[in-house]
Amino acid sequence: MRRLLALALLPFAGSLPAGEDPRTDAARPRELNLWPLIVERHPPGAALQEMQALGPFFFARDGGPGSGAESGWRPLFTQATAPGGLRHETHLLFPLFSVRQDPGGYRWSLFEVARGHGGAATGPGPATERELDVYPFWFQRTSAEPDLNYRALFPLHGTIRNKLWLEEASWTLFPLHAEVKRRGATTTYLPWPFVRVTRGTRSGWALWPLYGTESGPEGTSTHVLWPLGFTRLQPPPPEAPAGTPPRRNEGFLPFYATASGPGFHNEDFLWPLFGRTRHQAPLPAYTETRYLWPLLVQGRGDQQSINRWAPFYSHSRQPDAEKTWILWPLWRQARWLDHGVLRERHQFLYLPYWRETQTRPDRPAVPAASLTHLWPLWSGWDNGAGQRQWQFLSPLEPLLPGDPRVRRTWGPLFALARHDAPAPGRSRTSLLWDAVTWQVDKPARHHEFHLGPILGVVHSGEATRLSLGAGLLAFHRSANGAWRLAFGDFERTPPSQP
């Protein structure tokens, strides 16, 4: 497009002073702004190029060989390639349909109701497999290991393996017949869940909800009028010291329930309203009393405590976490240690105000990173190393935090204003999806402003460029203060080569 415009205005090129080449002028824009048709730009010092067209709808971003790239028509279609090209994602009206490809194979999903994958196995087993699920009706796996293959049509007939947290489950005309295998035990339901028989490493039977019993290496359990009356006895693990008592749970809800084991004892009266808990050696000492749970709870111990007078005030402390509520759910404050990172979060009514800071206790000199939401109006990010961003109108980020697919597909559609500062002294701000933009690059002494294609102003060093109509008419001022007029001036600073 720029070349066509330049050729169309070639007859006006004679208006330039004789012997003067406009390409030698230092004040060159880094952005072509033909809003709303197209806005194309590249940050300095990198091969990265970005393009946005028809407002926020069409976009493309390419960092050059070895870097990531993304493009699409928001929100209908987006695609992204990870650095090095090892992973490629495609989304249609995310999260409606998604496809991901990597060296291990492929995976697709239709709103997580229908999904499939193929390629390398995700765990121990054969080298390749294919899987197709259409919840809750069809389940299929094809693998090089015949014992892992299955096909199942729910509720008519079928078998699944290592699916839905089950080692193996089969059914015929469910719920008339169902069978579940787990750790060497087989439980048969005729029909589910009313009549149950268990054989193998565990044994038992049940006529639900009247009575049921089961015993095995993991302990014994009995229920009467489920879930009211119950008894569970779990032996200590083999590595436990000699004389360690078993874990015992029994009660008849809601009147009374008790749980005891090595170092702890818990009782509930009129469950779950009233109760008390006591921990002692080998556990850290702790006592807790509950009145009208969860409103009034008092607990004290060596490593944890809780002081709850809900909904007015609540404060709890654990070895790596601390949480405070004031006038629940009005104000919440929490601190916890997450893999060596101290995270502190403040919330007002969960969403309207949400702020989290992250610091490293072992590196006190490192600035804190922060993320702030004033939902649904504003979101701001600061990585603590000089990179900052904010966006005006941000309704989805607090609801689905940290999801790059949401940021790529939906976030820009709401960005009436956006500010990006990749490093100290460098920033770009845009209004109305790049209708108005201005850039600041203090290290390079470069400032740039665009009002769509109507007006462009560039200050680079001592030079200045003022353009109308995206360069149809341009005024240049050199470092010595001399002005000149140019027609058809569409040159920009070229991107850096990788």
Q: What is the 3-state secondary structure (H, E, C) of 251-320?
A: EECCCEEEEEECCEEEEEECCCCEEEEEECCCCCCEEEEEECCCCEEEEEECCCEEEEECCCEEEEEECC
* DSSP H or E segment with residue 2: helix 2-8
Do strands 341-348 and 69-73 pair parallel, antiparallel, or not at all (unpaired)? unpaired
* Predicted pLDDT at 10: 37
Q: How far apart are CA 284 and CA 241, in angstroms?
A: 18
87 neighbors 75 (Cβ within 8 angstroms): no
Lowest mean pLDDT among 262-266, 386-390, 487-491: 487-491
Please give the structure tokens belonging to residue 65. 């060989």
Mean pLDDT of 241-252: 91
* Predicted pLDDT at 16: 39
Q: How far apart are CA 439 and CA 31, in angstroms?
A: 10
Output helix, strand, coil percentages for the chain, rounded to the nearest 5: 5, 55, 40
Mean pLDDT of 362-368: 89
How high does pLDDT run on average in the chain?
89
141 neighbors 150 (Cβ within 8 angstroms): yes
Q: Does residue 415 register a pLDDT over 50?
A: yes
* Predicted pLDDT at 1: 42
Q: Report pLDDT digits (tens) over 421-445.
A: 999 999 999 999 999 999 999 999 9
AA identity, residue 27? A
Mean pLDDT of 490-498: 58
* Predicted pLDDT at 201: 95
pLDDT tier for residue 9 given thresholds of 50, 70 and 90:
very low
Q: How far apart are CA 215 and CA 227, in angstroms?
A: 18
Q: Does residue 265 register a pLDDT over 80?
A: yes
Please give the structure tokens belonging to residue 41. 């730009």
Q: Does residue 389 register a pLDDT over 60?
A: yes
* Predicted pLDDT at 91: 96
Q: Considering the chain, what percentage of its residues have pLDDT values greater than 90? A: 71
Q: Select from 42, 448, 43 the least CA-distant residue to 51.
A: 42
AA identity, residue 374? L
* Predicted pLDDT at 43: 64
Q: Report pLDDT digits (tens) over 323-352.
A: 999 999 999 999 999 999 999 999 999 889
* Predicted pLDDT at 45: 58
- Tally of CB atoms within 10 A around 282: 11
Q: Considering the chain, what percentage of its residues have pLDDT values greater than 70? A: 90
* Predicted pLDDT at 46: 57
* Predicted pLDDT at 143: 86
160 neighbors 169 (Cβ within 8 angstroms): yes
* Predicted pLDDT at 6: 39
* Predicted pLDDT at 13: 39
Q: Report pLDDT digits (tens) over 86-130.
A: 889 999 999 999 999 988 899 999 998 999 999 854 445 455 689
Q: Does residue 24 register a pLDDT over 60?
A: no
Q: How far apart are CA 118 and CA 370, in angstroms?
A: 39
Q: Report pLDDT digits (tens) over 287-329.
A: 999 999 999 999 999 999 999 999 999 999 999 999 999 999 9
Q: What is the DSSP letter of 14?
A: G
Q: Report pLDDT digits (tens) over 38-64.
A: 999 876 655 568 899 999 999 999 877
- Residue 205 Cα to chain centre, angstroms: 44
- Residue 148 Cα to chain centre, angstroms: 32
Higher pLDDT, 57 or 480: 57
